[in-house]
């Protein structure tokens, strides 16, 4: 009897010790998660698969076995009293398995990978969009130096894209590269940990929101600009056309996903390619009148920093790269893909900007299609307006995702109540906030209707930070022990040059906006 009592007491003490150990390890996992080491964020996954779905099995295998704690004839205490604190609690909705991920189904089957060509197509769409229409205006104020900057920005953005992806990886005990981070925010949090574990993520999120919202504003501005120049005889102002465009964009507030929008992406890209061909064909038809003498090494000191922002903004794609690389079937080909996409973008942008400027020289306008004859201009501009309106949902949906996950979907940690109901239905006040964001882009476009100045301001403020400053700084911080001297030199040089360009471009863009607003200047 005494032996049986001792045996039962021993079993109970063992079970209690195991339970305490499991809970302690789970809480440590939760603490590390809150410090940013295991936080799963998907703000940059617009247009691609959600990052938290992709790495869920990995985190579960590494972090959740401490919660299983099974022993003979017993189970872990606390079951049924709510989830233990750990990575499962740290999911964006606080409910364990991410939506749409079925138990027992491999991730490869659930989320098919994309090919290198598909990845390159996405990068090409990001860096060769509508905003190349402002590049001839950059040549106007920079001459040959503007052309050099188009090449220089392509080289630097390609390099910083590669080092940003390098920051996602660490070497394991066998010297193999292992992907331990999933997004730009994860990299930023890792750089600021352990003293300020969430500071880097907040900075990147703010920069992303600013850039995405400013992109939406630019689409509204360019729509109004194109329409007023297409129909100059109509008694309708640019602001009124912007209002009309915004009315057409209000359905964006009801978007639940990008499936409907993605169907038009290829059509938009093909339309833009046709438009570029038409503009270049018209310019080539006037080749005998090209003003080569107008292209000089002289720069407008006051206007040229704005041109730097325009050029940088046209190459912005870094916020999408971590999710894109994570979805590639052959991540080892990422560097090759970045090389050919940026080389082709550099060649096409340089030729387009130079040919267009040679055709109109000092008469070059902020949006180059405004220089076309009225008969051609109306047709081309209508296609461009259609492309702008169809392109608006992507940055809008991305901005909404970041804002909702930052303020309304924190699994109990959010600043405001969840904007979605128990069934996943968007609440009425959440819909009102989305409509408010659309209206905000309209108000900005109405009160600051200057395409080139806004593009330069955005490129200087967030484009330089996300493309130049932060990738080089993060690379130095996370990869310092493995960097060769020339890598350190490149990173420091890019950080310094990027900082100077960002500050000067921001100051001159703000001065230009103040001057344009004060004296009621038009394009």
Residue 445's pLDDT band (cuts 50, 70, 90): confident
- For residue 28, the model assigns a pLDDT of 41
Of 290, 301, 309, the residue nearest 356 (C-alpha) = 290
pLDDT band per the 50, 70, 90 thresholds, residue 47: very low
Stated pTM of the model: 0.69
- What's the confidence (pLDDT) of residue 296? 80
Beta carbons of 182 and 58 less than 8 angstroms apart: no
**Helix H or strand E encompassing 178:** strand 177-179
Q: Is the pLDDT reported for residue 222 higher than 80? A: yes
Q: List C-alpha distances in Å: 252 to 402, 427, 436, 439, 469.
A: 16, 16, 11, 11, 33
pLDDT in tens, 224-235: 888 887 888 888
The average pLDDT across 420-424 equals 71
pLDDT score for 83: 39
pLDDT digits (tens, 9 = 90+) for 497-517: 989 988 888 888 888 878 877
- How wide is the angle at C-alpha 13 spanned by C-alphas 7 and 15, nearest 5°? 100
Position 122 scores a pLDDT of: 78
Q: Is the pLDDT of residue 494 over 90?
A: yes
Q: What is the pLDDT of residue 379?
A: 83
Q: Give the contacts of 118 (CB within 8 A, at least 6 positions apart).
A: none
Structure confidence at residue 171 as a pLDDT band (50, 70, 90): confident
Q: What is the pLDDT of residues 362-402, one digit of tens each?
A: 889 888 888 888 888 888 888 888 888 877 887 888 788 78
**Does residue 465 have a pLDDT over 80?**
yes
Nearest to 132 by CA among 319, 382, 362, 387: 387
* pLDDT at residue number 259: 58
Inform me whether the pLDDT recorded for 133 exceeds 80. Answer: yes
- The span from the CA of 389 to the CA of 384, in Å, is 9
The pLDDT assigned to 1 comes to 53
pLDDT band at 30 (very low <50, low <70, confident <90, very high): very low
- 235: its two tokens: 């008694």
Average pLDDT, the chain: 75
Six-digit token pair at 51? Answer: 């990052």
CA distance 117 to 121: 6
Give, in degrees to the nearest 5, the angle at Cα 201 between 196 and 202.
Answer: 90
How confident is the model over 253-266, as a mean pLDDT?
A: 64
Q: What does the block give as tokens for 499?
A: 């900082």
Confidence (pLDDT) at 461: 79
User: How confident is the model at residue 410, as a pLDDT?
Assistant: 57
pLDDT of 16 > 50? The answer is yes
Nearest CA-CA partner of 397 in 261, 286, 238, 282: 261
């Amino acid at each position: 009897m005494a032996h049986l009592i001792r045996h039962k007491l021993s079993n109970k003490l063992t079970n209690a010790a195991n339970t305490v150990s499991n809970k302690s390890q789970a809480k440590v996992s939760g603490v590390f998660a809150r410090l940013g080491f295991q936080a799963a964020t998907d703000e940059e996954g617009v247009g691609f698969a959600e990052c938290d779905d992709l790495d869920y099995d990995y985190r579960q295998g590494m972090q959740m076995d401490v919660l299983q704690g099974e022993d003979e004839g017993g189970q872990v205490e606390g079951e049924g009293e709510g989830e233990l604190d750990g990575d499962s609690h740290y999911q964006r909705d606080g409910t364990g398995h991410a939506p749409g991920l079925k138990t027992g189904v491999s991730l490869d089957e659930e989320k098919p990978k994309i090919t290198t060509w598909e990845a390159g197509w996405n990068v090409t769409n990001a860096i060769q969009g509508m905003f190349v229409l402002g590049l001839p205006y950059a040549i106007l104020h920079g001459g040959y130096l503007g052309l050099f900057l188009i090449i220089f920005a392509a080289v630097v953005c390609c390099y910083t894209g590669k080092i940003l992806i390098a920051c996602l990886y660490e070497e394991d005990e066998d010297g193999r590269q292992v992907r331990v981070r999933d997004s730009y925010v994860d990299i930023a949090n890792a750089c600021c940990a352990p003293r300020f574990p969430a500071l880097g993520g907040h900075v990147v999120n703010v920069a992303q929101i600013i850039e995405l919202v400013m992109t939406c504003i630019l689409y509204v501005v360019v729509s109004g600009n194109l329409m007023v120049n297409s129909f100059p005889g109509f008694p309708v102002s640019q602001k009124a056309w912007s209002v009309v465009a915004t009315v057409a964009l209000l359905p964006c507030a009801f978007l639940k996903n990008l499936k409907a929008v993605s169907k038009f992406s290829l059509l938009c890209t093909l339309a833009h390619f046709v438009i570029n061909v038409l503009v270049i064909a018209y310019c080539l038809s006037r080749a005998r009148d090209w003003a080569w003498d107008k292209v000089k090494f002289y720069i407008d000191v006051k206007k040229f920093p704005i041109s730097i922002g325009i050029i940088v903004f046209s190459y912005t794609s870094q916020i999408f790269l971590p999710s894109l690389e994570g979805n590639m079937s052959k991540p080892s080909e990422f560097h090759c893909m970045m090389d050919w996409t940026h080389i082709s973008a550099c060649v096409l942008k340089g030729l387009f900007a130079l040919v267009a400027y040679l055709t109109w020289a000092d008469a070059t306008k902020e949006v180059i299609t405004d220089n076309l004859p009225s008969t051609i201009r109306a047709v081309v501009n209508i296609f461009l307006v259609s492309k702008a309106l169809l392109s608006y949902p992507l940055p809008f949906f991305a901005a909404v995702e970041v804002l909702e996950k930052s303020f309304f979907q924190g699994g109990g940690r959010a600043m405001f109540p969840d904007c979605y109901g128990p069934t996943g239905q968007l609440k009425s006040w959440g819909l009102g906030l989305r409509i408010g964001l659309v209206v905000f882009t309209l108000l900005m476009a109405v009160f600051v209707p200057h395409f080139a100045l806004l593009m330069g301001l955005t490129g200087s403020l967030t484009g330089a930070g996300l493309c130049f400053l932060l990738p080089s700084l993060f690379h130095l911080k996370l990869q310092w022990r493995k960097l060769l001297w020339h890598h350190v030199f490149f990173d420091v040089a890019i950080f310094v040059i990027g900082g100077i360009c960002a500050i000067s471009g921001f100051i001159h863009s703000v001065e230009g906006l103040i001057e344009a607003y004060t004296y009621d200047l038009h394009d």
